[in-house]
């Protein structure tokens, strides 16, 4: 993944105006998370990395990780992948925190308390029966906690600890919360 792709991989940093977050944090690119994503993507397995669900198994200092995995055409761009995950928002019901179809990629991507993200892509010669690209993004701390919303609707940055609101995202640690 080229360094210039980091911004493309994080719609919260690029398009925060798309949805209104009360507590949304600016996500920081994490090279260690990107290394975990790369080590998984080069294995060309279309399922989640088991280490993400084991305490401190992927990276020292991160108990668990969130993860999004996507199989696409070799020429797929990070923006296309992020758009695909973001488009799952139409299947998310904010009022009862449920999905009518797949929407976990979206909710992980916009999870308000996720601070860091790292992604990678590998070209796989025989993935699901054909040549494909495997995109993996890892997130810390992870999101998608059952019965919790990924964010609180409302005025952007109103829960930021300090006056650190830029582009509708907190740049610094917000007030700790459960949603």
Instruction: Kindly report, residue by residue over 29-50, the tens digit of the pLDDT.
Output: 899 999 999 999 999 999 999 9
Domains of the chain: 5-170 (3.40.33.10)
Asked whether residue 22 carries a pLDDT value surpassing 70, the answer given is no
Q: What is the pLDDT of residues 54-111, one digit of tens each?
A: 989 999 888 899 999 999 999 988 888 988 999 999 999 988 999 999 999 999 998 8
Q: Using an 8 Å Cβ cutoff, are 85 and 76 in contact?
A: no
What does pLDDT average to over the chain? 82
Take residue 56 and report the two structure tokens written for it: 């401190």
- Rounded to whole angstroms, the Cα distance separating 21 from 94 reads 12
Mean pLDDT of 12-26: 47
Asked whether residue 167 carries a pLDDT value surpassing 90, the answer given is no
- Rounded to whole angstroms, the Cα distance separating 10 from 3 reads 12
The residue with greater pLDDT, 152 or 41, is: 41
Task: Give pTM, 2 decimals.
Answer: 0.82
Confidence of residue 25 (pLDDT cuts 50, 70, 90): low
Asked whether residue 10 carries a pLDDT value surpassing 60, the answer given is no
CA distances from 174 to 8, 54, 61, 73, 93 (A): 24, 27, 20, 38, 25
Residue in 134, 166, 178 with CA at minimum distance from that of residue 25: 166
Take residue 178 and report the two structure tokens written for it: 């459960």
| 92 strand-pairing partners | 99
């Amino acid at each position: 993944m080229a360094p210039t792709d980091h911004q493309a991989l994080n719609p919260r940093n690029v398009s925060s105006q798309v949805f209104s977050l009360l507590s949304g944090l600016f996500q920081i690119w994490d090279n260690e998370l990107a290394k975990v994503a790369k080590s998984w993507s080069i294995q060309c397995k279309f399922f989640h990395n088991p280490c993400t669900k084991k305490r401190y198994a992927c990276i020292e200092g991160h108990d668990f990780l969130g993860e999004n995995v996507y199989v696409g055409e070799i020429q797929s761009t990070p923006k296309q992948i992020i758009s695909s995950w973001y488009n799952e928002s139409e299947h998310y019901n904010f009022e009862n925190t449920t999905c009518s179809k797949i929407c976990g990629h979206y909710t992980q991507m916009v999870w308000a308390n996720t601070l860091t993200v790292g992604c990678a892509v590998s070209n796989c010669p025989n993935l699901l029966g054909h040549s494909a690209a495997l995109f993996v993004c890892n997130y810390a701390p992870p999101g998608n906690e059952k019965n919790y919303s990924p964010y609180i609707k409302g005025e952007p940055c109103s829960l930021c600890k300090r006056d650190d609101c830029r582009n509708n995202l907190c740049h610094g640690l917000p007030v700790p919360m459960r949603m």
